[in-house]
């Protein structure tokens, strides 16, 4: 039996956000990180480039990142913005 799934790529995530089906910056950032850094536990993020690419302000990025840390999704944030992402 063939298994089907739903592939979420950058264009689709941007479309979902534009239609206001996803309004939380925290959730948006989570999915954007999964798209740009699939399977990476410790991605190095160029914050300015990432924010330009995803249409986020730097302030919203850091607030959402803090929310992800509070939820236990992001384990640690280093000075250079090397993230450690929890995978279960």
Instruction: Please state, in angstroms and rounded to a whole number, the distance separating the CA atoms of residues 81 and 84.
Output: 9
Q: State the average pLDDT over residues 27-48.
A: 90
**Other beta carbons less than 10 A from residue 21's beta carbon:** 8
**pLDDT for res 50:** 94
pLDDT digits (tens, 9 = 90+) for 72-82: 888 777 655 65
Q: For a pLDDT cut of 70, what percent of the chain falls above it?
A: 83
Q: Look at the domain 10-85 and name its fold.
A: Arc Repressor Mutant, subunit A (1.10.10)
> What are 75's two structure tokens?
């384990």
Q: Where are the domains of the chain?
A: 10-85
Tokens coding 71: 């939820």
């Amino acid at each position: 039996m063939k298994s089907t799934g739903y592939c979420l790529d950058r264009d689709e995530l941007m479309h979902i956000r534009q239609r206001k089906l996803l309004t939380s910056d925290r959730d948006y950032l989570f999915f954007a990180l999964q798209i740009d850094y699939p399977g990476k536990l410790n991605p190095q993020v160029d914050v300015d480039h990432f924010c330009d690419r995803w249409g986020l302000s730097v302030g919203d990025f850091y607030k959402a990142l803090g929310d992800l840390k509070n939820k236990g999704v992001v384990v640690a944030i280093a000075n250079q913005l090397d993230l450690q992402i929890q995978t279960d």
